[in-house]
Amino acid sequence: MVITFPMISSPGGDSSSNARTVEEIHKCALKGGFTYGLKGYAPLRKRPPSMENNLYEFQRVRHNLKSTRARSPERRKEPCYTCLRTALHCYNIVILVLGLGVLGIGIWLLVTDYNAREVSVLIGSNLFEVGTYLMIAGGGAIALLAFCGCCGTMKEDRCVLAFYGVTLMIVLMALCVGSGVAFVFRGFLTEKVKENFIHTLTKNYGVDTRKSSQNRLITDAWDSMQRRLQCCGVHGDVHSLYSWNIYGSQSEWYQQITGKAPYVPDSCCKENGDKQICTGTFPINGPPAKKPPLLHDNVMNDHLNTDGCYDKVIVHLQKHALILGAVAACVPVLLIFGIIIVFCLCARVQRNEDDENYV
């Protein structure tokens, strides 16, 4: 809205009178709330009271947020925040050592004499091997994540901490599966293992090992098991048909031998024993040249392991399966504790970043 006032001029054309008239009109216009523009007089643009109040409120909030931002380093020195950081640092170190330990145990189970792969091929189940691989994967992942967690804690990076927490949850589930597999494996050790022992020793041991990788693996597994556990054959004692005697009476390995000796492989011999006496190449009046049942006049072969392997294998596997299951069951407890700490610290870092970004 623009208001124009007509110019008032005196009859005599007095310019001073005209000037006074314009000045009076201008004063009246200002008093009435108008201002002079290019097109005439227009209403003055006054700021609404509500806008002034909003501007004041915004400046007050901005001042408070700046004060909060200035106090941000002090907030990070609060006991709760310091306690979370310290606890996570200590936790990462413990988890790093524990992860390396789990990784080492898993690798040891794979490379040791009579390892997890050989155990699996003899008992006819790969549960023990799968559990060992899960143990290696979980231990390696835990060690790597512990290192990442240390970096995320020092830098207070919310993304790294969140990734650390989520991955710990995934590793937690993997180790729970490995623990379940290990304890299920302990229940699997039944008479079926004994039957598989008899089948692999009589049909696969020492048969065409150059062409058949499976038979070569079974042969190596039997030799490793008999050397480590100091046993020979499947089960029973010196008088059993299924201990040392099974080689000379039922195995296809013995049928390939042109002569009578050896009656048993070298892996059945005791450590530092005489191989010729042990295998029957140098015969004595006793095993393995003499078949059971042995008589009172037969002599015992002190160089030959005469007990079967089944009972010793069951004890061996139950011991290692218990170790595997116990490790896989204890680690998740620590992982749960770490997951809680990580997400608590991540939430606190997120809150601090939101306050600073809002300013």
pLDDT digits (tens, 9 = 90+) for 259-294: 788 999 999 999 888 999 999 988 888 899 888 888
Cβ burial of 155 (10 Å; 0-12, 13-18, 19+) is: exposed
Q: What is the pLDDT confidence band of residue 178, given thresholds at 50, 70 and 90?
A: low
- Residue appearing with tokens 């145990």: 105
The whole-number average pLDDT for the span 162-176 is 78
Q: In 112-212, which residue ranges form alpha helices assigned H by DSSP? A: 116-123, 127-155, 158-188, 191-199
Residue type, 85: R
Can you tell me whether residue 237 is helix, strand or coil? coil
145 closest CA partner among 89, 195, 95: 95
pTM of the predicted model, to two decimals? 0.60
CA distance 202 to 263: 13
Q: For residue 107, what are the contacts with CB-CB under 8 A and spacing of at least 6?
A: 136
H or E element, residue 43:
strand 40-43
**Taking a C-beta distance cutoff of 8 angstroms, is the pair 221, 119 a contact?**
yes
pLDDT-based confidence at 28, cuts 50/70/90?
Answer: low
pLDDT range class, residue 72, cuts 50, 70, 90? very low
CA distance 277 to 279: 6
Q: How far apart are the first and last CA of the chain?
A: 41
The DSSP call for residue 260 is S
Percent of the chain exceeding pLDDT 90 equals 17
pLDDT computed for residue 200 by the predictor: 93
The residue-averaged pLDDT of 223-235 equals 92
Q: Is the pLDDT of residue 11 over 60?
A: no
170 contact partners, CB below 8 Å, separation of at least 6: none
Judged against a pLDDT cut of 90, whether residue 149 lies above it is answered with: no
Chain centre to alpha carbon of residue 264? 45
The residue type at 233: G
In the predicted model, is pLDDT for residue 211 greater than 70? yes
Distances (CA, A) of 207 to 200, 210, 215, 259, 271: 10, 9, 6, 17, 25
Given this model, what pLDDT does residue 18 score? 47
pLDDT, average across residues 309-324: 79
Q: pLDDT-derived band of residue 54, with 50, 70 and 90 as boundaries?
A: low
> Which is more confidently placed, 18 or 163?
163
Tell me, what amino acid is at 275? K
- Of 78-82, 86-90, 348-352, where does mean pLDDT reach its minimum? 348-352
pLDDT surpassing 90 at residue 317: no
pLDDT at site 216: 92
**Per-residue buried b or exposed e for 302-320, using 16+ beta carbons within 10 Å of the residue's own CB:** ebbbbbbbbebbbebbeeb
At 158 the pLDDT is: 74
Q: Of 5-9, 131-135, 144-148, which gets the smallest average pLDDT?
A: 5-9
What pLDDT sits at residue 75? 47
What is the C-alpha to C-alpha distance for residues 94 and 88, in angstroms, rounded to an integer? 10
Mean pLDDT of all residues in 10-33: 50
pLDDT of residue 5: 45
Give the residue, 262 or 37, on which the prediction is more confident.
Answer: 262
Q: Which residue has the higher pLDDT, 87 or 1?
A: 87
What's the rounded Cα separation, in Å, for the pair 159 and 153? 11
Looking at the chain, the number of H-run helices and the number of E-run strands are 13, 2
- Average confidence score pLDDT of the chain: 75
Which residues lie closer than 8 Å to 312 by C-beta, 6 or more apart? 229, 230, 231
Q: Please tell me which residue, 173 or 47, carries the higher pLDDT value.
A: 173
Q: Which of 151, 129, 131 is nearest to 139 (CA)?
A: 131
- Give CA–CA dist 171/204, Å, rounded: 39
| Mean pLDDT for the stretch of residues 348-357 | 55
